[in-house]
Amino acid sequence: MTETAVASATTEARRRRPRRSARRPLTFDRVSFFLVFLGLPLALFLVFVVWPFVQAFYYSMTDWSGFTPDMNFVGLDNYRRLLDDDIFMTALRNNVVLALVVPLVTIVLSFALATMVTVGGSSHGAARGLRNSSFYRVISFFPYTIPAIAIGLIWAQMYDPSNGLLNGVLTGLGFERFESFPWLGDTRTAMPASIFVIIWGFVGFYMVLFIAAIKGIPAEYYDAARIDGAGRLRIAWSITIPLVRETVQTAYIYLGILALDAFVYMAALNPGGGPDNATLVMPQRLLDAAFTKGQFGLASAMGVVMAIATLLFAAIVFAVNRLTGGHERVTRR
């Protein structure tokens, strides 16, 4: 047998030899690492997140009053009651309106302000923001440092029909029809006024978030676009937005979760839900059912509906991002 034949036979034998497992042996260090950094967080998540949700779902199928150990299994009756509850359906519609308006307006304003602060300066020379941009950051971020309940109470006083600052300023400017105008007591303005307060409180934070994302974009991209003659809107649409797309998605989800709750703001501005329940949200209805009427089973059903609505909102945002090409842009980088 020639040397070539021997070499070929050896190579073939090695190829057919069963490969050894590539798994690394379990050592104390590996096991302890998995237990501490994977097992412990997973256990905490199951105990403090998943298990309470399972309990809430179980309670939602009972007639538990919340103050006695007695409860009877009623199946899906509580959910059928919610469908027939006009007040709860109104609260659900209000939350949907908030979830549609608050994230969109907040992100558009925050992104516009962040663009001005970072690359909205002179059109000539290196890309830079407006002068004294640090001052704008501090001023716009200031509302976020105030607790939500304090923001709600402050604006409730500003909206006061008799002694509110807003009516006083408008009346002083010559708009006499706003004298004693009930901003939170009129069905036409109660929800828009409440939405304004929420947006006012969060624009600064998300502006800073977008500033951090835009700062991570190489300045050469903007310089090249300027040389090619691209305008500000074109640069923002073709360069900035695609490169901060994941940050926008995250911000949209967080703002949507906030809008599907909004309990603190609405309870401070309109504890009773506003005129004709114009600003009533699901958490307010849940609180009333649980602690005023003693219907914890029904309140648990409301909580489950809120959780499902939140998960559905997040799924829609992820699906829209994927369908519009967000996933492809990430994988190509």
DSSP states of 221-253 as a string? HHHHHHHTT--HHHHIIIIIHHHTHHHHHHHHH
Query: What digits encode the pLDDT tens for the residues 19-74?
Result: 555 566 777 777 787 787 888 888 999 999 899 999 999 999 999 988 888 899 99
Give the pLDDT of residue 327: 52
Give me the mean pLDDT over the 122-149 stretch. 74
**Distance between CA 34 and CA 27 in Å, rounded?**
11
Q: Which of 15-24, 254-263, 281-290, 301-310 bottoms out in mean pLDDT, i.e. has the lowest?
A: 15-24
Single pTM value for the model: 0.82
**Distance between CA 233 and CA 243 in Å, rounded?**
15
**Distance between CA 264 and CA 147 in Å, rounded?**
10
Query: What digits encode the pLDDT tens for the residues 140-180?
Result: 888 888 999 999 999 999 999 988 999 999 999 988 888 88
DSSP at 103: H
100 alpha-carbon distance from chain centroid: 11
The structural domains of the chain, ordered by start, are 87-332 (1.10.3720.10)
Cα–Cα separations (whole angstroms), residue 15 to 20, 22, 159? 12, 16, 80
Query: What digits encode the pLDDT tens for the residues 179-190?
Result: 889 999 999 999
Confidence of residue 227 (pLDDT cuts 50, 70, 90): confident
**Distance between CA 261 and CA 251 in Å, rounded?**
16
Place of tokens 């911000």: 251
